[in-house]
Amino acid sequence: MNSALVQVLTAIAMVLTIVVPMTYYFKGEHNKNRYKKSLAANVSGFFGLLLIATVVSFAGATTASAATEAGAGLATGLGYIGAALVTGLSGIGSGIAVASSASAALGAISEDGSIFGKSMIFVAMAEGIALYGLIISFMILGKL
């Protein structure tokens, strides 16, 4: 089957998995049970179709040269995934650390204003986690 035809049919089917359940909900009585059913049909249909489309698009014969190129592509792809994970997880960790240290610092500053400098050091140390993750991410991307 032609690849462009498969892509167009997949796009149309994905749009229909969103439109049909929502039309079902909006045409009838608006209640919680009907909404849950249409949302469940929407999510299961969309992600099921996405899974099938992924399997169909990656199905095909592979040659020895394509397998060799895929190995290099796999290493590059894993490098990008590693860089994304390091940036995202360090940002999440930094956000959690800043949230707890900054709220504690604000509480302490409201009682005694002279400890502003000491409390900001802890907030800055928590923010450094995100910067270290970003630096490691740039180092990973530099190796690709």
How many angstroms separate the CA atoms of 142 and 144, rounded?
Answer: 6
In the block, tokens 């802890």 appear at 122
Whole-number pLDDT of residue 71: 60
How many angstroms separate the CA atoms of 71 and 112, rounded?
Answer: 60
Of 47, 135, 131, nearest to 91 (Cα)?
131
Of 76, 125, 133, 129, nearest to 101 (Cα)?
125
Q: Which residues contact 50 (CB under 8 A, 6 or more apart)?
A: 14
pLDDT tens digits, one per residue of 57-76: 776 545 445 555 656 677 88
Please give the backbone phi and psi of residue 59, each rounded to the nearest 5 degrees, phi first: -75, 135
Whole-number pLDDT of residue 86: 92
Structure pTM? 0.47
Whole-number pLDDT of residue 68: 57
